[in-house]
Amino acid sequence: MFRNDKKNNNNRDRHYVTIKSRLSEVYKTPVGHDLLCKIGIYSGKGSDWIKNPFVGFLRLSVVLSVLKGISSDFLDVCCKLLNNTTAAAQVMVHGMPDKVGEISQEEPEEWWREAVFYQIYPRSFYDSDGDGLGDLNGIIEKLDYIESIGVDCIWLCPIYDSPNADNGYDVRDYEMIMAEFGNMEIFEKLLEEIHKRKMRLIVDLVVNHTSDEHEWFRKALEDPDGEFGKFYFLRKGTDEKTPPNNWESCFGGSAWNYYKEQGVWALHVFSKKQMDLNWDNPKLRMKIEDMINRWLDKGVDGFRLDAVNLISKEDGLPDGNVDLGNFIGYRGAEKYFYGPHLHEYLHEVCKECFEKYNAFSVGETPGLGLEMSKLLTNPLRRELNMVFNFDHLESDGHLRFDTYKYDLNWYKSYIKDWTENYSGSVRPALYFENHDNPRMVSKICDDEHYRVILCKLLALLLLTERGTPFIYQGEEIGMVNKKFKGMSDIEDVESLGLFEKKLSEGMKAEEAFKHILAGTRDHARSPMQWTKEPYGGFTTGKPWFIGDNDYEVCNVEDSQADPNSVLNFYREVIKLRRSDRDLTYGKMVIMNAHIPNYFAYTRGKYFIECNLVDRNIIRPEQKVERKKRVRLERILGSYGDMNMVQGLLRPYEANLYRIVSEE
Ligand code: ISL
C-alpha cells in the first residue's frame, strides 16, 4: 500500500497536502513520510505505525481533534512545509519530474563506496608539543597507526582559525589554520603524508554559519546595510527586547543576538557566536564556492558539510510553531531544516565545486529522514554523495539526554528499512559514534564484562552492513563514556547551555546534571587514550580537558599487543573487507528478521549473525545449514575463542561465516 506501490511512488511528488488529507497521502510525500516516521519514533510507536491501514485512513483534521494541546495552526504549518518542500524538491529534478528519488541501477564502483573512513577530532587526538591541545603535527605522528587500522580516508573536524566557542565549528577564517593546531605548511605536509600512504583526506566544511569574529561579520556590523550586512540575517526588530521572530537556538535561548551599538539583531541557530549566513545572497554563495575550490586546489579529496540542511531559511523568517518547538526542544526549526532552496543551493555547489574536481561530499543532515536523504543523494540530481542520517542514534521513544538503555533491536529495524526500501537508491553513511554523541557501547550496556565483546559486535555490524563505514577516534579501541562528576567537568557549549535552560525551567541542579551526563558530547571529546601514562599519553602537558583514568585499561599501546583486542578485531574485519568485494558491493539480505534479539544477514558469500542482548539466545538453524553440500565456516567473531555453544548465541555474540560449497 505504501512504499512498494510503484504507481503511488511515481505520483508522490504530485501530492498536495491539506488538512483534509489522509495520513496515507501525507506519507506519500518525501517530507511527510519522514516526519510521520519521526513522530512514530519519538512517541515510542516505531516508524511503522503509519503503515497500519486504520491509521493511514485517518484525516489530518481528525488527528488534530484527538491530539490535546496541539493548536490548529500546527497542522497548517505541517501542510505548508510538506507542500513547499515537495515543490522545492521537484524543481531540482533536472528534467526528470517523475524520478524524484528512484534509481535502480547497480551501484557504480567509486572509491568512497569502498572506503572505510576514520574521523579525527584534532583537539583531542594527539598533542605533539605539550600545550595540552591536539595538533596537526600530532596527527602526522600518528598516521602510521591510522594506516595500520586499514582505513582509506580521514575526515578531519574543523582545523580553521577559530575563537573556539564551539571547538572550531565557529570559523573565523576559512583559509587559515587554527594557530593552536599548526599552520598551512603543516597542513600541506599532513595532506602529503596522507596521500603518500595512499589514503585520502576530507575536511569539515562549516558554511551554515561563521564565527561572529569572522571578517565578514565584523564588516557587516560596521555597515549593516552594506555588502557584508547582506551576508547574514541582520534585522532591526521592534526594539532591543523583542527579537525579529520567536526562533530559539538549538543550544538554548533566543536564536537572535542584539548589537546595541548598531541597533540590529543577528540570527544564530547555534551559539550566539555562530552567525547564520544568508545563502539567498548569490554573492555570498560565490565567495563560499571560491573558498571551497581553493581547498580543492590544495588537494583535499572532499568535504563533510556541517549541518548543511539548514542553509536555506524560509522567506521573511516567519515565527516558528510553538507546539512543534515544544516537541523538538527549540522553536523555528521547521522554517529552515529543509528549506525552500536547499536542493538548488547544493546543486549549485556540486556543479561549481565538487564535480569539477571529482570531489566527495557527505552532508551532515540533522532531522532529515530517509526519503529526504534519497533526494539529496540521488546521483541524477547532482547534489551530495551521501548524508549522515540520525534516526538510529536513539532507540524508539528516546532522546539523547534521556537516561535509558539503547535497544539494538531498534538499530536492526533501522537497517532493515534501509535494506528493504532504499538499497536501490541511497548508500548509507554507517556510523555509531562521532564528536556529537556519547559512546554507543555505553548507551547499550555499561557492564565492563561485556565491553570488548559488544565493541566487536558493533565493529562487525559497521564493517559488514551495506554502506560506507565511519569510525570515530577511540571507537576502534573500545573507548567508553567518561565518569564526569559534576558540571565543572563539562566543557561543551551545548551541555552548558542546556544545563542553564533546565535550571531556568525549575529543574534541580542534580537532576539537570543527570540529564547532561546521559547525552553530553564531551563523552566523545575526551583525549584519545594512547598509553597507560598520565593522561593516556595524549600530552606531556596538562590536557585541555580531563576525562577519567580509563586509559589504564583501554589504550592503543596495549590494544596493539593484545591479539584479542577490539583494535585487532577492527583490523581483521577491515582486511577481510578489503580482500573481498562481496563485503562492499554484495547484496545484503536480512534473514529471520522476525526473531527478536537476533540479527542475521548475508552479504554475497558471507553470513553474519548477532545476539543483540546481554543474555544467551537460541541460535536459529539457517537454511543453508540444512542443505547437504553447503556449510557455514566461521571466520571470526566477537568471542575470541572458536568454542561456540551448540544451539546458543552467548551475550552479544557476533560471528561472520563464509558460506562454503563442497561440490
Ligand atoms: O548535537 C546536536 C545538537 O543537539 C546536533 O543537533 C548538532 O548540533 C547538529 O547535528 C549539527 O552539528 C554540527 O554543527 C554544530 C556543531 O556544534 C556540531 O559539533 C557539528 O557536528 C554547529 O556547527
Q: 406-427 pLDDT, tens per residue?
A: 999 999 999 998 898 887 778 8
Residue 18: what pLDDT? 81
Residue 27: what pLDDT? 83
Q: How far is the CA of 447 from the centre of ligand 1 (A)?
A: 29
Q: Hey, which of 169, 398, 434, 495 would you mutate to test ligand 1's pocket, going by the most ligand atoms within 8 Å of its Cβ?
A: 169
Query: Looking at 364, 436, 475, 492, which residue is catalytic?
Result: 364
Phi/psi of residue 196, each to 5°? Answer: -55, -35
Residue 32: what pLDDT? 81
* Most confident among 54-63, 108-117, 654-663 (mean pLDDT): 108-117
* Lowest-confidence region among 42-56, 107-121, 235-249, 343-357: 42-56
Task: Provide the mean pLDDT of the chain.
Answer: 90
For 197, left (φ over 0), alpha (ψ -120 to 50), or beta? alpha
Q: How far is the CA of 564 from the centre of ligand 1 (A)?
A: 35
Q: How confident is the model at residue 449 (pLDDT cuts 50, 70, 90)?
A: very high
Cα separation, 124 vs 133, whole angstroms: 7
Residue 97: what pLDDT? 37
Catalytic residue flag (residue 364): yes
Residue 529: what pLDDT? 98
Geometric angle at alpha carbon 287, from 281 and 290, rounded to 5°: 140
Q: How far is the CA of 436 from the centre of ligand 1 (A)?
A: 6
The mean pLDDT of 66-88, rounded to a whole number, is 68
Atom of ligand 1 nearest to the CA of 271: 22
Q: How far is the CA of 336 from the centre of ligand 1 (A)?
A: 15
Cα separation, 24 vs 296, whole angstroms: 45
Q: How far is the CA of 514 from the centre of ligand 1 (A)?
A: 21
Residue 86: what pLDDT? 66
Q: How far is the CA of 521 from the centre of ligand 1 (A)?
A: 10
Hey, whose CA ends up nearest to atom 19 of ligand 1?
Answer: 436
Q: Hey, which of 170, 211, 306, 499 would you mutate to test ligand 1's pocket, going by the most ligand atoms within 8 Å of its Cβ?
A: 306
* Lowest-confidence region among 101-115, 209-223, 405-419, 636-650: 101-115
Count of residues making up the chain: 663
Residue 123: what pLDDT? 98
Atom of ligand 1 nearest to the CA of 206: 23
Ligand 1 interacting residues, C-beta cut-off 6 A: 166, 169, 206, 250, 270, 306-307, 364, 366, 435-436, 494
Hey, whose CA ends up nearest to atom 6 of ligand 1?
Answer: 366
How many percent of the chain have pLDDT more than 90? 74
Residue 10: what pLDDT? 39
Residue 85: what pLDDT? 67
The mean pLDDT of 387-400, rounded to a whole number, is 92
Q: How confident is the model at residue 535 (pLDDT cuts 50, 70, 90)?
A: very high
Hey, whose CA ends up nearest to atom 11 of ligand 1?
Answer: 307
How many percent of the chain have pLDDT more than 70? 92
Cα separation, 550 vs 169, whole angstroms: 28
In tens, the pLDDT along 162-178 reads 999 999 999 999 999 99
The mean pLDDT of 370-398, rounded to a whole number, is 91
Q: How far is the CA of 366 from the centre of ligand 1 (A)?
A: 8
3-class SS of residue 395? coil
Catalytic residue flag (residue 306): yes
Atom of ligand 1 nearest to the CA of 437: 1
- In the predicted structure, residue 470 carries a pLDDT above the cut 70: yes
Q: Which residue has the higher pLDDT, 277 or 11?
A: 277
Hey, whose CA ends up nearest to atom 20 of ligand 1?
Answer: 306
Residue 299 grid cell: 588537494
Residue 426: what pLDDT? 81
Residue 34: what pLDDT? 82
Q: What is the CA radius of gyration of the chain?
A: 25
Hey, whose CA ends up nearest to atom 2 of ligand 1?
Answer: 436
Residue 260: what pLDDT? 95
Residue 89: what pLDDT? 63
Residue 7: what pLDDT? 36
3-class SS of residue 524? helix
Cα separation, 595 vs 327, whole angstroms: 33
Q: What is the pTM of this model?
A: 0.92
The mean pLDDT of 275-280, rounded to a whole number, is 98
In tens, the pLDDT along 177-236 reads 999 999 999 999 999 999 999 999 999 999 999 999 999 999 999 999 999 999 999 999
Residue 439: what pLDDT? 98
- In the predicted structure, residue 12 carries a pLDDT above the cut 60: no
Cα separation, 163 vs 276, whole angstroms: 16
Q: How confident is the model at residue 16 (pLDDT cuts 50, 70, 90)?
A: confident
- In the predicted structure, residue 104 carries a pLDDT above the cut 60: no
Atom of ligand 1 nearest to the CA of 493: 17
Percent helix, percent strand, percent coil in the chain, to nearest 5: 40, 15, 45
* Lowest-confidence region among 94-103, 131-140, 303-312, 496-505: 94-103
Contact 119, 470 (CB under 8 A): yes
Hey, whose CA ends up nearest to atom 18 of ligand 1?
Answer: 436
Atom of ligand 1 nearest to the CA of 169: 23
Residue 640: what pLDDT? 78
Cα separation, 391 vs 400, whole angstroms: 11
Atom of ligand 1 nearest to the CA of 209: 23
Residue type, 10: N
Q: Hey, which of 394, 436, 493, 494 would you mutate to test ligand 1's pocket, going by the most ligand atoms within 8 Å of its Cβ?
A: 436
The mean pLDDT of 345-357, rounded to a whole number, is 98
In tens, the pLDDT along 575-619 reads 999 999 999 999 999 999 999 999 999 999 999 999 999 999 999
CB contact set of 207 (below 8 Å; sequence gap of 6+): 277, 288, 305, 306, 308, 311
Query: Looking at 306, 334, 371, 407, which residue is catalytic?
Result: 306
Q: How far is the CA of 635 from the centre of ligand 1 (A)?
A: 39
Sign of CA dihedral 476, 482, 487, 488: negative
Q: How confident is the model at residue 94 (pLDDT cuts 50, 70, 90)?
A: very low
Cα separation, 610 vs 465, whole angstroms: 12
Residue 101: what pLDDT? 46
Residue 3: what pLDDT? 33
Q: How confident is the model at residue 100 (pLDDT cuts 50, 70, 90)?
A: very low
- In the predicted structure, residue 84 carries a pLDDT above the cut 80: no
Atom of ligand 1 nearest to the CA of 270: 22
Counting beta carbons within 10 angstroms of the beta carbon of residue 352, is it exposed (0 to 12), middle (13 to 18) or buried (19 or more)? Answer: middle
Q: How far is the CA of 307 from the centre of ligand 1 (A)?
A: 7
